[in-house]
A and B are shown apart, each in its own frame.
Chain A
Amino acid sequence: MTRIDRRHFLAGVGTAAAGTAVASVGLGSIADADTGNSTPGEIVAHDGLLGQVPFDGRYQAGILTLRQDQATFVALDSLNPNRAALALALQDLTVRIRQLTAGGPAGQAPIDAPPPDSGTIGPMILPDSLTVTVAFGASLFDQRYGLAHQRPAGLITMPRFPNDDIDPARSGGDLLLQICANHRDTVVHAFREIMRVLDGAFAVRWTIDGFQGENRGPTARSSRRNLFAFRDGTANPDLTDNDLMHQLVWVNAGRGPSWTANGTYQIIRTIRMHVEFWDRVGLEEQQNMIGRVRTTGAPLGGTDEFQDPRYDLDPHGRRIPLDAHIRLANPRTAATADQRLLRRGYSYHRGVDSAGTLDQGLIFCAFNQDPTRQFATIQTRLSGEPMTDYITPVGGGYFFAAPGTVDQRGWLGASLFSS
């Protein structure tokens, strides 16, 4: 725990350099709060509440950002009557996101007026590594706003894949917000504040809350577990490799409409996991379906999570079955190298369904440069994998995460509306 001097905190916020790494707020005075010597005017911060992810930059935050613990995904339908109104709403949204992610005083109003901020996380908004990532759905490029000719080529209504049971009320949308932070209350606060800005301009189409498993080791690098208890995200490409990100994630200039450069396709799949059924399956079968050891996350036969599964030494699947999930998802061949994508998913828990069974699963979230080359190819290869019986995709959509705002004068979607 750290105790922060309010004046120093204010001086520090908003000055961090643009980029996507999590930056610590520049604080002049941080004291150990465990002493309990808290005095009025000081803010007690802990567990990453001071972490700040710069909002402005070439790319949007929340994509290469180290995954925060909590998330809410919100799909919105546009109610804006025309193109100008839509642009204005996106500008308002940008301003509010910039404020919330920077942190600072929640603001004041005359005592007889509604406060400008709900106040649910206190009078001083600590950034808590909040990111709000904005993406456009294919439907935004219909005839309503004259944007049809600007639609990114790969941005289509999410196709149906075998085993899908997609609920229209839980899929699609004109706009997607991915709200992530270290703590749940920060996410809930941001959602509430953003909707105050968007009310009348956008209506919520669907929303889902996610969390990631806590880091329970053995190392800080160990991947977190999903609700099938297996480590998820082990084979993600290296986020710090800028060249690789331009091969797999970012749309490069000269490909598609000019406004899309430095944006990326965001794929959301809400995947229900039939966890009771899964829990009644032998561990050996579970491991064969995934291709990894449940405890360590190592590929079968291995001892370390990050070991290469060496499929080349196992052509008949004696060690890792040929239809194991990891083998189909990423065959690790030269021919499939450009199909890899960046996964940034979250687990979800929505209570129980009408049959009294747990409504749990995965909010699969992936960023990729070309959904046809990457996501859809992988998904097609996974069709009929043994794990199919234990999962049902029920929602989601294809979206395009806009390029970043570059600097404080920018707004999300500016390049789309100016082109």
Chain B
Amino acid sequence: MRFRSVWLGRAGLAALLATALAVAGCGSHVFPLSRAEQRYTKELVAADAPANALGAELPVPVSFFTASIAEYRRYAERVAAELGPEVQAIRAALAGDERSAARSAWDVAFAHYLSLGAVYGEFGQLNESIDGLPGGLPKGVEDPRFTGLHRLEYGLWTGQPLRGLQPVAAQLQADVRQLAHVLPAVTLPAADYITRAHEILEDAERDFLSGASVPWSGQGVLASQASLSATEVVIHTLGSLIGQPLYSNITGRLAVLQQVFNSIRDSHAGRIPTLTGLRPLERERLDGATAGALQVLQAVPVYLDTNAVHPIPSLPR
């Protein structure tokens, strides 16, 4: 009955949040309820609650998210600005024929790119160039369209000559430069942004903890930690809208996950191990804390839904 406790908790805290918003100058809105919650609370109201306590059935206005998204964009621009020098470090290591240094530099750039989090899905083809995997390409790893960070990963961890990777890194540098250029103009719809609150970590569980998207380096732990960082920023920007106690519940779960990363790092001499380098108990804790965080994060898109309920038109028989 996990869901029930979430719903019941929110039904009660809606009034508190409405008060908070009113104090913050958001007018006389009664806090709008998500669709699922509307349906649920309808039943609840009908059963045993005063009808006016939960008020109007409004979706959350999109304008409520303007400040949150702007804050996230500033964060993303700072991250993107750092990518250039980080890719330059990869190029320097390749030029010096230093594989170990090139791998370390790749780790930094890769993790940093992933910490863009909420916006990396908005770049379209540029994201494919920077972070695309070869799975859907006709010639796989040999395909000329296989470029960017994973093309470097493939070369660095499968013993390819470093000289041959230099053009790949040069192209990556051009791409991240382009990224910094387009980022200020990228639109991030409120509905997408809210969904990112859980999707970034969903992707981490699906792609990084499974190893599917780090096939050669095995840097799934590092990648997941970067995803957590991005998630923390999203949640932080949405904090005033999410309200208590859900916000504390979420940040508590994220803190548990961060502690798992910290303890893993501490027990591996200050370095984040690869997936195969994890000890069995570390693996269980990491998987469990991620799943635990996701179970709470799934409430955010429901809670902050911006779409009005539109009844589905009937299909003529």
Q: Please, which residue of chain B has its CB at the minimum distance from the CB of A355?
A: B209
The reply to whether the CB of A165 lies closer than 8 angstroms to some CB of chain B is yes
With a 10 A CB-CB cut-off, give which of A282, A298, A353, A356 has the most chain B CB atoms.
Answer: A356
The answer to whether B202 touches A354 (Cβ under 8 A) is no
Measured between beta carbons, the chain B residues less than 8 angstroms from A282 are 35-36, 301-302
- How many residues of B are counted as interface, with CB atoms below 8 angstroms from the partner's CB atoms? 34
- In the complex, how many angstroms separate the beta carbon of B287 from the nearest chain A beta carbon? 4
The reply to whether the CB of B135 lies closer than 8 angstroms to some CB of chain A is yes
The reply to whether the CB of A236 lies closer than 8 angstroms to some CB of chain B is no
A-facing mask of B179-206, CB < 8 A → 1, else 0?
0000000000000000000110010011
The one of B275, B291, B316 in contact with A276, judged by C-beta atoms closer than 8 angstroms, is B291
- In the complex, how many angstroms separate the beta carbon of B3 from the nearest chain A beta carbon? 11
B-facing mask of A296-308, CB < 8 A → 1, else 0?
0011111100010
Binds A, one of B20-28, B136-144, B165-173: B136-144
- How many residues of A are counted as interface, with CB atoms below 8 angstroms from the partner's CB atoms? 36
Binds A, one of B80-88, B105-113, B307-315: B307-315
Binds B, one of A51-59, A155-163, A222-230, A237-245: A155-163
The answer to whether B133 touches A307 (Cβ under 8 A) is no
The reply to whether the CB of A67 lies closer than 8 angstroms to some CB of chain B is no
The answer to whether A160 touches B140 (Cβ under 8 A) is yes
With a 10 A CB-CB cut-off, give which of B205, B284, B295 has the most chain A CB atoms.
Answer: B205
The answer to whether B294 touches A163 (Cβ under 8 A) is no
The answer to whether A301 touches B287 (Cβ under 8 A) is no
The answer to whether B294 touches A276 (Cβ under 8 A) is yes
The answer to whether A318 touches B313 (Cβ under 8 A) is yes
Interface residues of A in 105-124 (CB under 8 A from B): none
- In the complex, how many angstroms separate the beta carbon of B204 from the nearest chain A beta carbon? 10
The reply to whether the CB of A310 lies closer than 8 angstroms to some CB of chain B is yes
Given contacts A160-B137, A280-B198, A319-B313, contact A274 B302 (CB under 8 A): no
The reply to whether the CB of B19 lies closer than 8 angstroms to some CB of chain A is no
CA of A6 to CA of B94, assembled, Å: 77
The reply to whether the CB of A166 lies closer than 8 angstroms to some CB of chain B is yes
The one of B135, B137, B287, B302 in contact with A356, judged by C-beta atoms closer than 8 angstroms, is B287
The reply to whether the CB of B4 lies closer than 8 angstroms to some CB of chain A is no
The reply to whether the CB of A284 lies closer than 8 angstroms to some CB of chain B is yes
CA of A377 to CA of B275, assembled, Å: 38
CA of A339 to CA of B288, assembled, Å: 44
The reply to whether the CB of A164 lies closer than 8 angstroms to some CB of chain B is yes
A-facing mask of B271-298, CB < 8 A → 1, else 0?
0000100000001100110010011001
The one of B136, B212, B294, B315 in contact with A301, judged by C-beta atoms closer than 8 angstroms, is B315
The answer to whether A162 touches B136 (Cβ under 8 A) is yes
Measured between beta carbons, the chain A residues less than 8 angstroms from B284 are 356
Measured between beta carbons, the chain A residues less than 8 angstroms from B148 are none
The answer to whether B135 touches A355 (Cβ under 8 A) is no
Given contacts A280-B294, A301-B313, contact A160 B138 (CB under 8 A): yes
Measured between beta carbons, the chain A residues less than 8 angstroms from B316 are 310, 313
CA of A319 to CA of B313, assembled, Å: 6
Given contacts A355-B210, A356-B291, A357-B210, contact A307 B315 (CB under 8 A): yes
The reply to whether the CB of A210 lies closer than 8 angstroms to some CB of chain B is no
Q: Please, which residue of chain B has its CB at the minimum distance from the CB of A159?
A: B138
The answer to whether A354 touches B313 (Cβ under 8 A) is no
CA of A298 to CA of B206, assembled, Å: 30
Q: Please, which residue of chain A has its CB at the minimum distance from the CB of B299?
A: A280
Measured between beta carbons, the chain B residues less than 8 angstroms from A276 are 205, 291, 294
Given contacts A162-B136, A163-B135, A165-B212, contact A280 B202 (CB under 8 A): yes
The reply to whether the CB of B211 lies closer than 8 angstroms to some CB of chain A is yes
Measured between beta carbons, the chain B residues less than 8 angstroms from A166 are 135
With a 10 A CB-CB cut-off, give which of B136, B287, B291 has the most chain A CB atoms.
Answer: B136
- In the complex, how many angstroms separate the beta carbon of B124 from the nearest chain A beta carbon? 11
The answer to whether B206 touches A274 (Cβ under 8 A) is yes
Q: Can you name 22 A-B residue pairings with CB atoms under 8 Å?
A: A159-B138, A161-B136, A162-B136, A165-B133, A166-B135, A274-B202, A276-B294, A277-B202, A280-B295, A280-B298, A298-B315, A300-B315, A301-B313, A302-B315, A310-B315, A313-B316, A319-B313, A354-B210, A355-B210, A355-B211, A356-B283, A392-B212
Q: Which of B's residues lie within 8 Å of A, judged by CB?
A: 35-36, 133, 135-138, 140, 198-199, 202, 205-206, 209-212, 275, 283-284, 287-288, 291, 294-295, 298, 301-302, 312-317
In the complex, besides A276-B294, A280-B295, A355-B205, 20 extra interface pairs with C-beta distance below 8 angstroms are: A160-B136, A162-B136, A163-B135, A164-B136, A277-B206, A280-B202, A282-B302, A299-B315, A301-B312, A310-B316, A319-B315, A353-B210, A354-B210, A354-B283, A355-B210, A355-B287, A356-B284, A356-B287, A357-B291, A389-B199
Q: Please list the 3 inter-chain residue pairs (A to B) with the smallest Cβ-Cβ separation, ordered nearest first.
A: A355-B209, A301-B315, A280-B298
